Amino acid sequence: MPAAPFPVPTEGMMLTGMGLGLELLIALGVTRLLASFLFGVGSTDTSTLAATAGILASVAATACYISARTATRIELVAALRAE
- What global pTM score does this model have? 0.67
Residues 2-25 have pLDDT tens digits of 455 555 677 888 888 899 899 888
Q: Using one digit for the tens of pLDDT, what is the confidence trace for 27-46?
A: 887 877 777 777 766 666 77
Quickly count: other Cβ atoms within 10 Å of residue 5's Cβ: 6
Total residue length of the chain: 83
- What residues contact residue 9 under an 8 Å CB cut-off, 6+ apart? 61, 64, 65, 67, 68
